[in-house]
Amino acid sequence: MKIATWNVNSLSIRLPQVLDWLAANPVDVLCLQELKLTDDKFPLAALEQAGYPHCAVFGQKTYNGVALISQHPLSDVLRNIAGFEDEQARVVSATVQAPGGDLRVVNGYFVNGQEPGSEKFAYKMNWLQGLHRQIAAELAGPAPLVLVGDFNITADDRDTHDPQGLRETIHHTTQERQAFAALLGLGLVDAFRLFDQPEKSYSWWDYREMAFRRNKGLRIDHILVSPSLKARVKACTIDRSPRKNERPSDHAPVIVELAEPVPPHGP
DNA sequence: ATGACGGTGTGGCACCGA
């Protein structure tokens, strides 16, 4: 069972790359962020053709927009955060009826926040609080949970190419990192850090100043799993290869592989 | 300090991202 997350920075532009990537990486579920299109423009037919007939889409015009595309049926689709009013389409959740049992997948495009102290930063912190409450509630449900997406937060200094120079700037503030840590405090585990990883592993690089070639990036796309899934995580990797495409997204996909659950002993 | 790159919308640029 594989689940991936990818901020595509416009699905209209990136659809051919998404289809190519799925052909090479036939994950069970792909979570997309920054669709930048409305639901009526979502390429349902092309994705069904590619083996992904089950989609939970939450789009909007110009900005944001998230979707969960799946080989397996989906149920209990929730758009945005329950009890948190938001004009922006940033979260879609669904229960995946996977062969090894139901999995609750929450796919978020977290707020950027622009600059600490700004109105947008305040929105980011409020949004994070709303998400935290939502995740706490979801964890009380029956299915194991996976929280994926573009978090727009570096978890710690390993996740940034310039920990000193970027100290307390956006994506690096103590407040943001505390919000990330608070999610871990609910019992979630950063799947990527369950394994030895190469130093300077990042999931985003600025389009400017040849940042990708110089590996001046950030790890801000994450996959967190609920406690019951921790023992099932077999691998978690970042696939840098799509960043080498001609017109790439500025983000790379992150993939987690889960082992099948151990069936309970019979009598 | 600013802009650099790329996407969108509607436009001759502004706004946003991270």
Over residues A160-178, the pLDDT tens digits come to 999 999 999 999 999 999 9
Q: Residue A33 and residue A57: Cα distance in Å, rounded?
A: 10
**Residue A150 annotated among the catalytic residues of the structure:** yes
The catalytic position among A150, A159, A190, A250 is A150
Strand B lies under 7 A from the Cβ of residue A176: no
Give the CA-to-C1' distance from A143 to B17 in angstroms.
34
Q: Residue A205 and residue A189: Cα distance in Å, rounded?
A: 24
pLDDT-derived band at A262 (thresholds 50, 70, 90) equals confident
Beta pairing class for A101-109 and A145-150? parallel
Please report the pLDDT score of residue A187 as a whole number.
Answer: 98
Q: Residue A258 and residue A103: Cα distance in Å, rounded?
A: 11
Give the CA-to-C1' distance from A197 to B1 in angstroms.
37
Whether A142 shows a pLDDT value over 90: the answer reads yes
Give the CA-to-C1' distance from A211 to B2 in angstroms.
18
User: Which residues lie below 8 Å from residue A225, measured CB to CB, with a gap of 6+?
Assistant: A144, A145, A146, A147, A188, A189, A191, A232, A233, A256, A258
Q: What average pLDDT is seen over chain A?
A: 96
State whether residue A193 is helix, strand or coil: helix
pTM: 0.96
Domain range A2-258, CATH class: alpha beta
The catalytic position among A28, A52, A109, A221 is A109
Q: Which nucleotides of B are covered by protein (CB under 7 A)?
A: 3-9, 16-18
